[in-house]
Amino acid sequence: MRQLPLGVRLRADALFDSYAPGPNGEALAALRGEGRAPLWLWGAQGTGKTHLLQAACAARGAGAAYFPLDRAAALPPDALQGFEGSALVCLDDADQVAGDPDWERALFRLFNEAAEHGTRLVFAARAAPRAVDWRLPDLASRATACVVYQVRELDDADRAAALKLHAARRGLDLPAETADYLLRRLPRDLKSLIAVLDALDEASLSAQRRLTVPFIREILERCADRAP
């Protein structure tokens, strides 16, 4: 059973096999490898950083821990205690706690304890470690020593491949023209596209219709008509 702090859940679909790497193949290979060096993944929102961290935890199984450090999670710094001996600790939105002295000290301790126990640390953030406004110099030094990968946005061809991959895992056949239509009409970030695809899947099951362009157009127009 994976180690998770209270109230944290991993997405069932966040797996390496459901990730379309596009230009991020090197970062994916590093996560799937057996190296022990701490990794730092950074990139814009919606580039799949959370998916990668949760997939790493799912692949590791027992002994992996995942911590979302954004303010909404409301995790206290001492939530990290007891996980320093885990095989893998993934910390999402790590830049969100920069400037918080208690959190910075907790992360610094985790770096030291992970090195002692051979624990692999993986961080995700919206900025590279050198661009984060750390207040604790020793923590800044540890963070900048990580192996750093920028997680880049997918182009349209890779977004279409990601949609088809997600659809296939749900048992859906997503025609190329349908994927192209979604990319032209919907927000560009993959998280939004997949959320809409999941909703369309439910609608297609309810209506017993395939995910054709006319059907999707009908559903989207119906939603637009209901909007205030």
pLDDT in tens, 12-61: 788 898 899 999 999 999 999 988 899 999 999 888 999 999 999 999 98
Mean pLDDT (the chain, rounded): 87
Architecture in CATH for domain 16-150? 3-Layer(aba) Sandwich (3.40)
- This prediction has a pTM of 0.82
The sign of the CA dihedral 10, 172, 185, 209 is negative
Q: Cβ(48)–Cβ(165) under 8 Å?
A: no
CA distance 51 to 38: 18
CATH number for the region 156-226 comes to 1.10.8.60
Q: Where are the domains of the chain?
A: 16-150, 156-226
Q: How many residues does the chain have?
A: 228
pLDDT class of 224 with cuts at 50, 70, 90: low
The helices-and-strands tally (H runs, E runs) of the chain is 8, 5
Question: Would you state the pLDDT for residue 73?
Answer: 63
CA 55 to chain CA mean position, Å: 8
pLDDT in tens, 49-108: 999 999 999 999 888 999 999 865 678 899 888 887 889 999 999 999 999 999 999 999
